[in-house]
Amino acid sequence: MLSSDLDHETTALDARVRTALAGLHPGIVIGELATLPGGHSGLTYRITAAGQGYVVKAVPPGSRPLGRNDVLRQAEVLRALAPTDVPVPRVVAASDTHPGWFAMTMAAGDSTEPVLDEHTLAPELVRARMLALAEVQRTLHAVDVAALGLSPQPVLGAAGELERWTRTLLAVPDELVPGRTEVLHELATRVPTDVPGALVHGDLRLGNVLCEGVAITAVIDWEIWGIGDPRIDLAWFLLFADPANFPGVGSTAAGLPSEDELLEVYRGGGEPPRDMRWFRALGRMKMAAIMAHNLKRHREGKHHDPEQERLPPTIAAMLRSALALLCSALALLC
């Protein structure tokens, strides 16, 4: 698409959003769309009205509303969660006229991933935020899915998640994924029985929430939400509690609570989730598969990003840690 066409599309989107917000703020001057950096789905903008900031997500011009570009699917889950105790932005306007878009309130706070981002957060603040997010995740997984009125969703279970990421891991050269054969064999040998499906975020971590002090003001970036085994979601979050999982790309991140501490907060006095060593190993295999896939694309020239060359130590560490967890789980069964 020509740049002039893109400018036309953006101008048209700006007019549509400003008209919608004018209905919420009669007589108030509405600002103009400004690109908001850091968005990973569709197009992300900021706009203000009467001192209130809004975030707008839109389908890119010429793109179909699929996958991460299906912004209205994000709006659906945010609207469904609005009356619950899960902190989310409030959707104020939306349109399914192509290209689809929605506007939501801009929550206060910063978004920092302590184990990966350069930051100046005090250790006690890092600890408090991680523990608070464990509580938010417990709240999210306890939401009555049937009462949310969501459109029908496929239910993601352990076997399906394993199959999906096994395909990804097997699609990269052997030298990028040392130990994958053993990890995949052990995972496939003891697939746990699924528990009832819960609403899962898909990428819940401090990098995908906004915090003001120790308080979590909003869970954001709902591109890959779904209904599935909550232990898959939990294990992914736990990955980000240990800098040792990310050699070469992570930081020391002083103050991080241990995975066991986070699990204790998550269960909230209830029964501990079963088979968590298996799910934690699955999360590590998934991260290794994602990183190896990205590194492969870089080396093949499909997406030039020299930063990907920092990933081999982390990929190897993820697979080593996964195998150690699986072996320790097996020892407990013997």
Amino acid letter, 268: G
Cα gap 48→31, rounded to integer Å = 5
Whether residue 205 contacts residue 246, with contact meaning beta carbons closer than 8 Å, is answered with no
For the stretch 22-32, pLDDT in tens is 999 999 989 99
User: Is the pLDDT assigned to residue 38 strictly greater than 80?
Assistant: no
User: Is the pLDDT assigned to residue 273 strictly greater than 70?
Assistant: yes
Cβ neighbours of 206 (radius 10 Å): 25
Helices (H), ranges, the chain: 3-24, 71-81, 123-142, 158-170, 180-189, 230-239, 259-267, 276-299, 312-333
Q: Mean pLDDT across the chain, nearest whole number?
A: 92
Domains and CATH numbers, the chain: 3-105 (3.30.200.20), 123-333 (3.90.1200.10)
For the segment 230-250, the average pLDDT, to the nearest whole number, is 94
**Checking phi first, is residue 248 left (phi over 0); if not, alpha (psi -120 to 50) or beta?**
left
Percentage, residues of the chain above pLDDT 90: 82
* pTM reported for the whole predicted model: 0.93
Q: What tokens were used for 334?
A: 């013997």
Whether residue 242 contacts residue 254, with contact meaning beta carbons closer than 8 Å, is answered with no
Q: Which of 249, 234, 240 is nearest to 207 (CA)?
A: 240
Exposure class string for 249-288: b at 16+ Cβ within 10 A, else e: ebeebebbbebeebbebbeeeeeebebbbbbbbbbbbbbb
pLDDT at 4: 40
Whether residue 136 contacts residue 143, with contact meaning beta carbons closer than 8 Å, is answered with no
**Residue 53 binned pLDDT confidence (cut-offs 50, 70, 90):** very high
For the segment 83-102, the average pLDDT, to the nearest whole number, is 94
**Residue 237 binned pLDDT confidence (cut-offs 50, 70, 90):** very high
Cα gap 156→162, rounded to integer Å = 10
pLDDT at 65: 75
For the stretch 276-326, pLDDT in tens is 999 999 999 999 999 999 999 999 999 999 999 999 999 999 999 999 999
Range from 65-69, 141-145, 178-182, 261-265 carrying the lowest mean pLDDT: 65-69
